[in-house]
Amino acid sequence: MAGEKSEQKLWGGRFTGETDPLMHLYNESLSYDQKMYDADLDNSKYYTEGLLKAGLLTEEELSEIHRGLEVIRCEWAADSFVEKDGDEDIHTANERRLGEIIGRHIAGKVHTGRSRNDQVATDMRIYCRKALTNLEKILTNLIGAILQRSETEIDALMPGYTHLQRAQPIRWSHWLNLYATYFVEDLKRLKQIKERLNVSPLGCGALAGHPYGIDREYIAGKLGFDGCIGNSLQAVSDRDFVVEILFWCSLFMNHISRFSEDLIIYSTAEFGFVKLSDAYSTGSSLMPQKKNPDSLELLRGKSGRVFGSLSGFMMSLKSIPSTYNKDMQEDKEPLFDALVTVEHSILISTGVISTLAINKQKMFGALTMDMLATDLADYLVRKGVPFRETHHISGEAVSQAEKLKLSGIDQLTVAQYKEIDARFGEDVVDVFDFEVSVERRTATGGTAKCAVLKQIKSLKEQL
């Protein structure tokens, strides 16, 4: 009986004693790595083609193996795969089931020259490649939804803020383009990571390489990789791609958190710039008047969860000696959790931005004339006065309006402006127009309509 039990474990031949049941629970990963079943089956499918090419399998054996693998794939897809004691991970489970379907003699050849070390490293890369491709698609949709709003609501003006204080008038579209730009840069980084991870460790064995001269390049090509990792030690122990993905997820969620924070503020009664759809809001259990931006608060909160996945795995990885060590099993749960969290966050963000309503009157009503103080300084610059001097003069105008308890610097008369500085003319009153202020920012990246449209065009081209 002991011999039969040890046969269920890929490493069981050396051991005669029973495994502590708690140790089995502590060691198993099938509960979460089963989501890699498709990658693992592809791994075995094309690895066995490599074994055939190396003369280690017959055509008939390969055909049987492929038949069995597809049966297993259908079982996983239909949620009918039956897990059994001894199924430590997705690799063990699939190989055990393959033996039941086609017989252990043929199934036992599948692992020839292959270790779970290069097998899991390959599965992870295949799984991540697919997951990142999905993120690319839905992130592109999010950016598209933002840019669509930016085009259609380009006439809405609002305050721009620094230090959360009203600073200068901008277009609402300019704010939208801010986050579209962040997300386009995220998209570029995502593609770069996917390119870097798309190299194959398969055929490196446990650490020292393959003893049967298998054609690693052939298998890599069949699995959709761009090439092979050139050092077998590095191939089985590298998890930098996991760190990069977790870092990407963390940086992206940082952008999502800031995006959410802005919209939370803009949706308050004190601002009233935006109103969230009921689909992305909840009420209060006590106060019936409340409409809470729970979707945005969850987006902001889940950023901490993703940051924790990155920092936690970095601590697991930092002191591992070469090459493969069991600590590396800790890569999957934080990675899978982060990928799911980011996927859902993108979809929720897309829903929020696609369905919220803006209040143009509230946005415009929040603009105050003191926000044109810089424009007042620019007025004198155009008359040849150095900016450092005009900045001081404009500040005097703000101070004078405050002393006279006026509602804004536009309430000072031309005569009062001339008392502050004789270079002010009758046309100083033309400064006090928010639309004029915005339309002066025509340089690339500015908030004038032509500059905003140029940003939208550029962002669309980068998609």
Q: Which residues are bridge partners to 171 per DSSP?
A: 157
Name the amino acid, one letter, at 200.
S
Active site residue 163: yes
Q: What is the pLDDT of residues 197-246, one digit of tens each?
A: 999 999 999 999 999 999 999 999 999 999 999 999 999 999 999 999 99
Burial class (CB in 10 A: 0-12, 13-18, 19+), 46: buried
pTM of the model: 0.91
Given this model, what pLDDT does residue 339 score?
98
Query: What does the CA dihedral 419, 420, 424, 428 come to, rounded to 10 degrees?
Result: -100
Residues 6+ apart with CB under 8 A from 203: 47, 50, 113, 114, 118, 209, 210, 214, 216, 219, 228
Q: Is there a contact between 61 and 105 (Cβ–Cβ < 8 Å)?
A: no
Q: What is the pLDDT of residues 127-147, one digit of tens each?
A: 999 999 999 999 999 999 999
Task: Kindly report whether the peptide bond that precedes residue 390 is cis, defined as omega within 30 degrees of 0.
Answer: no
Query: What's the distance, CA 353 to chain centroid?
Result: 17
What distance in Å separates the CA atoms of residue 298 and residue 393, rounded to the nearest whole number? Answer: 46
Q: Is there a contact between 363 and 153 (Cβ–Cβ < 8 Å)?
A: no
Burial class (CB in 10 A: 0-12, 13-18, 19+), 147: buried
Residues 6+ apart with CB under 8 A from 34: 76, 90, 93
Q: Is there a contact between 229 and 204 (Cβ–Cβ < 8 Å)?
A: yes
Pairing type for strands 165-171 and 157-162 reads antiparallel
Active site residue 322: no
pLDDT tens, N- to C-terminus, the chain (463 residues): 333 344 455 545 555 556 677 777 777 889 999 999 999 999 999 999 999 999 999 999 999 999 999 999 999 999 999 999 889 999 999 999 999 999 999 999 999 999 999 999 999 999 999 999 999 999 999 999 999 999 999 999 999 999 999 999 999 999 999 999 999 999 999 999 999 999 999 999 999 999 999 999 999 999 999 999 999 999 999 999 999 999 999 999 999 999 999 999 999 999 999 999 999 987 666 676 668 899 999 999 999 999 999 999 999 999 999 999 999 999 999 999 999 999 999 999 999 999 999 999 999 999 999 999 999 999 999 999 999 999 999 999 999 999 999 999 999 999 999 999 999 999 999 999 999 999 999 999 999 999 999 999 999 999 8
Given this model, what pLDDT does residue 7 score?
47
Taking residue 403's Cβ as centre, other Cβ atoms within 10 Å add up to 8
| Spatial CA neighbour of 214 closest among 53, 415, 26 | 53
Given this model, what pLDDT does residue 37 score?
97
What distance in Å separates the CA atoms of residue 74 and residue 81, rounded to the nearest whole number? Answer: 9
Q: Which domains does the chain have, with CATH numbers?
A: 2-112 (1.10.275.10), 127-189+238-316+327-365 (1.20.200.10), 369-462 (1.10.40.30)
What distance in Å separates the CA atoms of residue 36 and residue 48, rounded to the nearest whole number? Answer: 18
- Phi/psi at 410 (5° precision): -75, -15
Crossing angle of helices 172-197 and 240-266, rounded to 10°: 170
Q: Which of 284, 311, 322, 407 is catalytic?
A: 284
Q: Which of 66, 80, 91, 163 is catalytic?
A: 163
Given this model, what pLDDT does residue 288 score?
63
- Phi/psi at 363 (5° precision): -60, -50
What is the DSSP secondary-structure string of 393-421?
HHHHHHHHHHHTT-SSGGGS-HHHHHHH-
Residues 6+ apart with CB under 8 A from 344: none
